[in-house]
């Protein structure tokens, strides 16, 4: 199995502070942190940079407060594409000093829109954002949601086609396994396109799943991780694995009594790293 680095995305410990996340992830033995912009204290980026350096963690996939040209159910404001592109470029300038592996971009929700027009405006906006990223030495990572979560594209081939239409070398792919694990032919897609991936987001699918924010730790759900990791390893994937857990504690309308977000950040980070590495090690036997 691959020796790809492992990070934890900060939404996993949603209620913890940036400083607490750094401490928890380092103590858990992660290699990196996926920074969410909403967690960075305003006006304290120099201090945050020092904290990252002191933690020994690398920065994997950063998530802006506005990561898409059109809004979706999670990233809703501002509404207008032009204003969102300005915000996306501002997030790039903020993230650049942290030297992330990638900055996440998504597509927005096409519900109720002219899809052809949305795609045209999205492609133009992503080109502008990618050009700004290139000037800053940054890579973008395009992620698709599953159809029920609202996304212009919803499969790995769909992401590849959209990235090719944008036509920028620094636009790569982030595969969120929660969104694609049950797609027909997903293992073949992982093997075919692995060289285009900058990161793979990791969690597991609770069965039955109660909402989009009802994910569980890797190995605790129904995703066939042996097959997924085997496909990525066969293809030579060497990018980031990024543990990303949404587990609603009331933030998004459902206060699940077993919400992982209610747990202590140190314990959750430690278990998340342990569970994923156990899956990797199991595949090596």
250 within a domain of the structure (yes/no): yes
Q: Residue with structure tokens 């998004």?
A: 252
Evaluate if residue 258 carries a pLDDT over 90: yes
63 within a domain of the structure (yes/no): yes
197 within a domain of the structure (yes/no): yes
Please say whether the beta carbons of 151 and 176 come within 8 A.
Answer: no
C-alpha distance across the termini of the chain, in Å? 9
Spell out the alpha helix ranges (H) of the chain. 18-28, 45-55, 81-95, 115-135, 156-166, 177-180, 186-193, 225-234, 265-284
Secondary structure of residue 222 in the 3-state scheme:
coil
15 within a domain of the structure (yes/no): yes
pLDDT for 2: 53
- pTM for this model (two decimals): 0.96
What are residue 94's phi and psi, to 5 degrees?
Answer: -75, -40
- pLDDT digit string, tens, across residues 259-283: 999 999 999 999 999 999 999 988 6
Region of 17 please: left (phi>0), alpha (psi -120 to 50) or beta: beta
CATH assignment of the domain containing 66: 3.20.20.150
Question: Can you give the residue range of the structural domain that contains 119?
Answer: 6-284
pLDDT for 145: 96
28 within a domain of the structure (yes/no): yes
44 within a domain of the structure (yes/no): yes
- pLDDT digit string, tens, across residues 192-244: 999 999 999 999 999 999 999 999 999 999 999 999 999 999 999 999 999 99
Domains of the chain: total = 1
Q: Residue 238 burial by CB count (10 A; 0-12/13-18/19+): exposed, middle or buried?
A: middle
1 within a domain of the structure (yes/no): no
Query: What is the rounded average pLDDT for all residues in the chain?
Result: 96
173 within a domain of the structure (yes/no): yes
Sign of CA dihedral 120, 186, 246, 148: positive
> Residue 1 — very low, low, confident or very high, per pLDDT cuts 50/70/90?
very low
Secondary structure of residue 266 in the 3-state scheme:
helix
Evaluate if residue 3 carries a pLDDT over 90: no
């Amino acid at each position: 199995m691959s020796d790809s680095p492992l990070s934890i995305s900060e939404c996993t410990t949603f209620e913890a502070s940036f400083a607490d996340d750094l401490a928890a992830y380092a103590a858990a033995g992660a290699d990196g942190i996926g920074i969410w912009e909403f967690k960075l204290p305003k006006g304290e980026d120099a201090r945050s940079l020092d904290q990252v350096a002191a933690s020994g963690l690398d920065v994997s996939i950063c998530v802006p407060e506005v990561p898409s040209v059109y809004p979706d159910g999670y990233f809703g404001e501002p509404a207008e594409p032009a204003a969102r592109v300005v915000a996306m470029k501002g997030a790039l300038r903020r993230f650049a000093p942290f030297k992330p592996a990638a900055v996440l971009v998504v597509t927005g929700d096409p519900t109720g829109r002219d899809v052809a027009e949305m795609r045209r405006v999205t492609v133009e906006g992503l080109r502008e954002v990618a050009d700004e990223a290139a000037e800053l030495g940054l890579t973008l990572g395009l992620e698709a949601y599953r159809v029920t979560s609202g996304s212009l594209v919803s499969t790995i081939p769909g992401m590849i086609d959209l990235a090719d239409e944008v036509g920028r070398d620094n636009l790569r792919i982030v595969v969120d396994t929660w969104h694609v694990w049950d797609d027909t032919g997903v293992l073949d897609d992982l093997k075919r396109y692995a060289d285009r991936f900058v990161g793979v987001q990791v969690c597991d699918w609770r069965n039955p799943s109660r909402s989009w924010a009802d994910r569980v730790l890797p190995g605790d759900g129904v995703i066939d991780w042996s097959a997924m990791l085997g496909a990525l390893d066969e293809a030579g994937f060497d990018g980031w694995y990024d543990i990303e857990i949404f587990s609603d504690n009331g933030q998004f309308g459902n206060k699940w009594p077993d919400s992982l977000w209610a747990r202590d950040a140190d314990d959750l980070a430690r278990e998340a790293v342990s569970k994923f590495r156990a899956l990797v090690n199991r595949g090596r036997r």
